Structure 1
Amino acid sequence: MLDETGQADLADHAPETGHSQTPEAGHYHDPATGHSRPPRREFKARGSFTERCPGCNLPVLNCLCPYRVNAESEARVWLITHPLEHLKPTNTGRLIRDVLPDTEVFTWYRTVPDERLLALLDDPRFAPFVIFPDDQPDYADRVVDMAVVGEVKASGRTPVFILLDGTWRQARRIFRKSPYLDRLPVLPLATTRLTRYRLRKPASQAHLCTAEVAAELLRQSGDEHAAQVLDDYFDAFNVSYDASRRYEKLEQPTAAMRRLLACQGE
């Protein structure tokens, strides 16, 4: 949920079905739907020719796989991800899924919502909250605070944090153009935390990336261990990727990396 970069919107149309395409034909695999979809233009971002680890997608120079740790949490995270985010190796939504195995990832298309997402939204076991700022009056009646999450837990239901994974412009579009979200409570993240993300320039230091948002929500809702593991994994990702951009090999694990390694032995 960072920056304001404007790009051709692949999310206006649903993924094509009925035939498969190969990467050589210029298509990419949608990890959420399983469909193959052609990008509007060839993706050649800086670092696109870097040799990457197939496990963590980081440059092999500083692979993140040795520090991967699973954690349990009472709350769950569902990501509604803009298609362009799947193309970005700097996307932090994948870190949440690495740490929390129950994380769900859905690709957003404006015209055809994901049927599995719609089914889960109707599942009485879950109490979903859309994480979004409370800065507009037209949905003020839907805004709740973290105390409601505690009430949901007390009732025996599982709270779900729905994160809109994309730039701020894309996230606002997802929020406004997804009628199935209109009936859900809106939970703004109240925090004084400033971003530690080094890989994209935010419009404001108060704009946290997706993994940071998830960690703060987990911490505030009582899943402190999961929050710490995700925070440490995010820091390991941040440092490793930043060093790889400078073609610098990390010779010693950071404090966050050492905590993750310690968790693996527990």
Structure 2
Amino acid sequence: MDEEEVWDDLCNIPADPPVMREICGNCKRPQIVCWCIALPSERLHPRSNIILLQHPAEEKRCLRTAPMLQLGLAENKCLIFKGKKFPQPRHENLEKILNQPNTILLYPSKTAIDINDLVNHNDSYNLVLLDGTWPQAKAIYASSPTLHNIRQVKLITSSVSSYIIRTQPTEGCLSTLETAAEALSQLEKDQKYKELIKPLHKLCQYQLDNGAVTHQSKEFLLKTRTYPKLIGKRLSKLLRSTSDTASLID
């Protein structure tokens, strides 16, 4: 291609900017893939508050469930703090929240009790969730000594994740959205919080309609000898340690 042809090509480039897809002002996703229609007709107002400690890498994911949770609950009922270590000076009011006696951490440690064994289900709690992959959640916990002093709870549930377009480590893993919905349902003895999961159903259905496929967990693929990759010692240990755990964060 000679210089004249190059200039001809440059001159034919449109001066106007490309047409951008319309963005939903609520979920900030393109209108064509917006899931807001599946949100509860009225934002749910639980007694308890959800406190998400979100790993920075989670914010970069395009198929996140935390925004569904935040938009499905009443304003300020789901607070999100970002970082790899908590609390930090930039996390306004977080240290105060973490030190309150009604704060509980959903984390499957050896000392965690069944969330149903809390003394009074009529109380309100600050329910802390670690939002990230399981290795990210473990790293946040390890680097945040304040979290070690919080009363820890776990979920005992037979629920299976609806997040079928994403590979989970084990069969019992739930997304952040599903974990929060299940926890609120058990804390407040009210199944209406399962409505929070409907946007996830819509998201997955859209993806499946446009070429995505359903994913089995790594645990299932390993058991059936269909996992396509070799696994390291860390994943092998994780699968063994979580085989009896009902739920983990995505």
Q: State how far apart, in whole Å, the 1-side matches of 2:47 and 2:104 are.
A: 14
User: Who is 1:88 aligned against?
Assistant: 61
Q: Deviations over 1:119-157 (max 9, x none)?
A: 222345xx11111113xxxxx3x42222443x2444xx4
Number of positions where the alignment pairs a residue of Structure 1 with one of Structure 2: 187
Instruction: Point out where structure 1 has 5 or more consecutive residues left out of the alignment.
Output: 1-48, 135-139, 247-266
Alignment of 1:25-104 (within 5 A): 52-69=23-40, 70-101=43-74, 102-104=77-79
Shift of 1:245: 5.8
Identity %: 24
- Whether 1:189 and 2:166 are equivalent positions in the alignment is no
Shift of 1:188: 1.3
Alignment of 1:86-235 (within 5 A): 86-101=59-74, 102-110=77-85, 113=88, 114-123=91-100, 127-134=102-109, 140=110, 142-149=111-118, 151-154=119-122, 157-235=123-201
Distance 1:55 1:110, change over 3 A: same
Check the 8 A contact 2:72/2:196 in 1, yes or no: yes
Q: State how far apart, in whole Å, the 2-side matches of 1:237 and 1:99 are.
A: 15
Q: State how far apart, in whole Å, the 1-side matches of 2:116 and 2:161 are.
A: 24
Shift of 1:166: 0.3
Q: State how far apart, in whole Å, the 1-side matches of 2:159 and 2:207 are.
A: 22
Check the 8 A contact 1:52/1:60 in 2, yes or no: yes
Distance 1:171 1:111, change over 3 A: closer
* TM-score normalised by length of structure 2: 0.66
AA aligned to 1:172 is K
Check the 8 A contact 2:131/2:137 in 1, yes or no: yes
- Name the larger-Rg structure: 2
Shift of 1:50: 7.6
Distance 1:120 1:97, change over 3 A: same
Structure 1 segments, 4+ long, off by >3 Å, are 49-54, 240-246
Secondary structure in structure 1 of the residue aligned to 2:50: strand
Q: State how far apart, in whole Å, the 1-side matches of 2:64 and 2:189 are.
A: 23
Q: State how far apart, in whole Å, the 1-side matches of 2:208 and 2:28 are.
A: 14
Q: State how far apart, in whole Å, the 2-side matches of 1:226 and 1:74 are.
A: 13
Q: Deviations over 1:188-217 (max 9, x none)?
A: 111122212033211222211111111111
Distance 1:221 1:123, change over 3 A: closer
Alignment of 1:229-244 (within 5 A): 229-243=195-209
Larger deviation, residues 101-110 vs 62-71: 62-71
Secondary structure in structure 1 of the residue aligned to 2:52: strand
Secondary structure in structure 2 of the residue aligned to 1:207: coil
Check the 8 A contact 1:57/1:89 in 2, yes or no: no
Q: State how far apart, in whole Å, the 2-side matches of 1:61 and 1:168 are.
A: 31
Please tell me the root mean square deviation across aligned C-alpha atoms, in Å.
2.5
Shift of 1:106: 0.6
Q: Deviations over 1:229-266 (max 9, x none)?
A: 212233223323443566xxxxxxxxxxxxxxxxxxxx
